[in-house]
Amino acid sequence: MRLRLLGIVGLLLVGCSTSLPVSPSAAASPEGQPSSSAPASRNPSTSSEATAPAESPAVVSDEALLQFAPTAGDGIAFSYDPDTTDEVAADPRLAADVSALAIGLFTVTGQSPPADFVVASVARLRDSSAGEAWFRGYRDSYDQSACATAGGVAGHAETVINGRTVFIGTCAAGAITYHVRLAGGSIVLSLTSVGPDRLGERVLRRLPA
């Protein structure tokens, strides 16, 4: 079954990307800035080529990243959505911080249409050493996008699930986001949980140790 709901909710990452803090590695190099000491006789075309910024590498859609996602089972089903992953990964605003991406949907087995669902995104960072300030900015931007049509961000919390620190955002209309860093900080798992049964917490408890 094609879960086209992801075509809408998956765009949360694109909205989030518009205000992500830029990692130090993405900052313009000195060669990318105009030079006041350049000779006046320099050929304009040569100067333009020298100062043109390099394109950011593309974000790769990588289903293999789902090895870092919680597993299905115990009444929870999962579906990878390659189309939504490709659509979100194609947005150039992600490229400064994210090198690869996978997006999928968790639902409750037998619910049709699903009353509870969790959109999961697994992102591999270009800079695994990006610190807490970067991660806080990422979470805040993601939550603002997730809650934009759900009454806005109502609060934040922090908890521990299966020994991992999990950051939680709540929307005024009830949706809940969860964020956790994995694999030494190189992977960010973000969930958006919708529905009365707080499926996101059940999903996170299935995260591999």
- Spell out the per-residue pLDDT of the chain, length 209, in tens: 334 444 444 445 544 444 333 332 332 223 333 333 333 343 444 444 444 445 667 999 999 999 999 999 999 999 999 998 998 899 888 888 999 999 999 999 988 887 899 999 999 999 999 999 999 999 998 898 888 888 899 999 999 999 999 999 999 988 999 999 999 999 999 999 999 989 999 999 999 77
Is 4 within a domain?
A: no
Domain count, the chain: 1
Neighbouring-strand partners of residue 194: 117
Q: What is the domain-level CATH number for residue 120?
A: 3.40.1000
Is 161 within a domain?
A: yes
Is 120 within a domain?
A: yes
Is 32 within a domain?
A: no
| Residue 153 structural domain | 60-204
The pTM assigned to this predicted structure is 0.76
Residue with tokens 């949360």: 12
Write out the two tokens for 204: 């996170």
Kindly give, in sequence order, each residue whose CB lies less than 8 Å from that of residue 136, ignoring residues fewer than 6 positions away. Answer: none
Supply angle C-alpha 14, 142, 26, rounded to 5: 65
The dihedral sign for the CA sequence 133, 158, 174, 13? positive
Is 3 within a domain?
A: no
Cβ(138)–Cβ(16) below 8 Å: yes
